[in-house]
Every structure is written in structure tokens, then in C-alpha cells.
Amino acid sequence: MMLSDRVVHKWLIHKAGSLKRLVLVSEQLPEPAKDDVQVEIKAVGLNFADIFACLGLYSATPAGAFTPGLEFSGTVSALGESSQESPHGFRVGDPVMGMTRFGGFATHITINHHYLLPLQDGWTFEQGAAFPVQGLTAWYGLIELGHLSKNQVVLVQSAAGGVGLQAMDIIKKQGATAIAVIGSPDKAAILRERTGIDPSHILVRRKTFKTDLQQALKLLFRDGLDIVFDAVYGKFFKPAYEAMNPAGRYVLYGAADLMSEGNRPNYLSLIPRYLMRPRLDPMAMITENRSLMAFNLIWLWEDIPLMHRVLKDFISSKPAPPHIGRQFDFSDAPAALRFFQKGRSTGKIVLTINS
């Protein structure tokens, strides 16, 4: 069969604004361009950015129609004429994992070889699809921006989530201590099982967060936090910021508190939360000698040498295979996004494609 006769099935949203607008479409598979690799996707990793983008709440969303999906794994199915000369020397049939600025919710992807890396030995496709974005988020935030080092104390919000579990692994390997925050007590069991964390270092996010945090620090014989790794923001931001030591680094990488429930954004609930969002005074930050750092990994995709250097450092640290919390069939992508949106998940949610 000619390559161009082959078909790609993908989830498409013609105009952001509602999860209900996601439709499954079929198109001709394009020929890979010179530096491209074509991948037959086996698993797709879900990210909040997919939900934010579908709801029209994400500034990095492509204009017009788009296919969600930032990370995937699969096997190389075709190569552009120059892509074999890539540092990895990909061949047809190679198992790979990769990241993309949307387009991952598909049975095939045609992508520049820079955005692919070999699937780690012994990992499943699901684990591969769970790794690039969430793993790199944890590594970039903690190591590149947080300058995490031995004996430090780090507060990790959503510690039982996909990014959170990767962060917990990195913190442990660096010889630092985590205080792990979860949204509901039922997540403590998986957190303990995966990380071996002492129960006194687990906090449930609730009204008494400020005093719970002070108590956890006291049990560790510490005055304050060295790093906060947070994608929740909202009313838990200030208590954590104020619990930082001088020279503390607050690494903020999301605002899940501004996530909207349901198929469409609920602006009545979102707008007051947005307007009342916590803010810092830079002058006071100088006096307190603390910093706030924020990042969006998508910008790393634009700086390929930096992205490769960060990925190489991370992979050299021999990361543990990600924990898969739940799998959905590719055809159930909207249901998977709705489940993820509820905030009940632990580990990574993936879509699997059985061909």
C-alpha cells in the first residue's frame, strides 16, 4: 500500500469552547517531510493542558481547529529522507516516545525527529506516553529552576498526580525531603505505596493547611520550606509562600484552582476566582529574600538544544517508569478527559490504541 493511501484517525475540535465539540475524524496520512518521522501511536498521555485548550482557556492553543494531545508513544512507521541521520538514528519499527505542541490524540503523528526519543528499555507504551511532558515538567521545575539539592525540604502540591509522583521520585533521588499535599485522603495509600513516604509528611489540602504545614515542618525539625512545587495556586499559594525560608524558591507551573468543571467553562465561578487570585509585591520579595519562578514547558519545545540537554540530564538520572493510574480506549477520549477533569486521578491517565 502506498503511504499516502493510509489513513490517520484523530480527535478534532473545530472551535475551542466545549469538550462536547470533540469529534473523531479520518484523514489521509501525509508523507513525512525531510526531517520528519512518522509514528504509529500506541498510547497517548493526558494533560490538563488538553482540557484547558478544549475549553478555550489556554493561551498556547492553536488558532482554529486542532487535535489535543501533548505526549505519546508508539513505533516508527515511516521516515523522511534525512531523519535517519538524527542523533538517535531511528529505524522503522523502533519504539519511541515523544512530545508535540498538540496533535497527539491520533492514531499516527508525523513529527520532526527532535521531538522523539527512544522508549526506555523495559517500559510499556503506556509508561512511555506518560513520561515526556510530566517527567520533564517535574525535572525542569525542580532541578533547572528550583536548584534542588540534598537535605532541602520541598512542598509538592498534587503529589499523587502524574507530575507529582515524578517530582517525588526526583526529590528522593536527590536526597531531599518532600512534604506531599493531596486533594483527598484516599490518595494517601497510593502515595505511600509508590514513594514510601512517612504518613506525617502527607498533608490533605483543607482549611487548616497553614497550621498543618507548620506542624509537618516542626516534626521535621525545620523552620521553613526551601522549595514549593505547585500547580494548584489559589488560596493555598500564600500559606506555602509564607512558609518558605529566606532564599526559598517557589516554582509555580499551573493554576488547577482555575480549572472549570463540566463541558464548558463556568465563568460565573471562574471570574471571581481569577479576580481574587493571590498576588505578590516584588518589593516585599526583596526584603524577604524569596523568589517566585513560573514556567510553561511549551517554550522549551522552541529551544531544541536546551530541551535536549535537559532531557539528557533527566534520562541520565535513570527515572522510574511512571505510574499509570488509569487507561481508556482511544475511542473514549472525551470520557477520559472528563474523568481527569474531576481531579480524582492518581498517576497518569492514558489512552491506548490497539491496532
Ligand X SMILES: NC(=O)c1ccc[n+]([C@@H]2O[C@H](COP(=O)([O-])OP(=O)(O)OC[C@H]3O[C@@H](n4cnc5c(N)ncnc54)[C@H](OP(=O)(O)O)[C@@H]3O)[C@@H](O)[C@H]2O)c1
DSSP letters of 83-102?
Answer: GGGSTT---TT-EEEEE-SS
Per CB under 6 A, the list member of 42, 113, 114, 187 interacting with ligand X is 187
Tell me which amino acid residue 290 is: R
| Cβ closest to ligand X, residue 88 vs residue 338 | 338
What is d(CA 195, CA 261) in angstroms, rounded to the nearest whole number? 30
Count of residues engaged in binding ligand X, rule: CB under 6 A: 27
Beta strands of the chain (E only): which ranges? 7-13, 22-28, 36-45, 71-79, 95-99, 108-112, 116-118, 153-156, 177-182, 202-204, 225-230, 244-252, 291-294, 324-329, 348-352
Tell the smallest beta-carbon distance from residue 271 to ligand X (Å): 16
Tell the smallest beta-carbon distance from residue 31 to ligand X (Å): 32
Contact (Cβ atoms closer than 8 angstroms) between residue 20 and residue 51: no
Q: Which residue is nearest to ligand X (CB)?
A: 183
Tell the smallest beta-carbon distance from residue 155 to ligand X (Å): 12
Q: Which stretch binds ligand X (CB under 6 A): 32-40, 44-52, 75-83, 93-101?
A: 44-52
| Cβ closest to ligand X, residue 80 vs residue 347 | 347
Q: Which stretch binds ligand X (CB under 6 A): 21-29, 83-91, 122-130, 250-258?
A: 250-258
Angle at 116 between CA 115 and CA 117, to 5 degrees: 135
Binding mask 286-315 for ligand X (x = CB under 6 A): ---------xxx------------------
From 110, 48, 21, select the one nearest 334 (Cα to Cα).
Answer: 21
- Give Cα 319 to chain centroid, integer Å: 15
Cell of 261: 468543571
| Cβ closest to ligand X, residue 9 vs residue 190 | 190
Ranges within 61-80 binding ligand X (CB under 6 A)? none
Per CB under 6 A, the list member of 146, 183, 265, 322 interacting with ligand X is 183
* DSSP letter assigned to residue 141: I
Ranges within 310-349 binding ligand X (CB under 6 A)? 343, 345
Per CB under 6 A, the list member of 68, 90, 257, 351 interacting with ligand X is 257
Cell of 269: 465561578
Tell the smallest beta-carbon distance from residue 325 to ligand X (Å): 8
Phi, psi of 136 (to 5 degrees): -65, -35
Ranges within 216-235 binding ligand X (CB under 6 A)? 231-232
Per CB under 6 A, the list member of 13, 37, 106, 133 interacting with ligand X is 133
Tell the smallest beta-carbon distance from residue 314 to ligand X (Å): 14
Ranges within 152-181 binding ligand X (CB under 6 A)? 158, 160-164
What is d(CA 182, CA 63) in angstroms, rounded to the nearest whole number? 35
| Cβ closest to ligand X, residue 32 vs residue 254 | 254
Coil, helix or strand for 280?
Answer: coil
Tell the smallest beta-carbon distance from residue 203 to ligand X (Å): 11
What is d(CA 225, CA 211) in angstroms, rounded to the nearest whole number? 14
Helix axes 188-195, 162-173, angle to 10 degrees: 40
Tell the smallest beta-carbon distance from residue 226 to ligand X (Å): 21
What is d(CA 233, CA 42) in angstroms, rounded to the nearest whole number? 34
Tell the smallest beta-carbon distance from residue 258 to ligand X (Å): 8
Q: Which stretch binds ligand X (CB under 6 A): 29-37, 129-137, 212-220, 303-311?
A: 129-137
Interacting residues toward ligand X by CB under 6 A: 47-49, 133-134, 137, 158, 160-164, 182-183, 187, 231-232, 253-254, 256-257, 259, 295-297, 343, 345
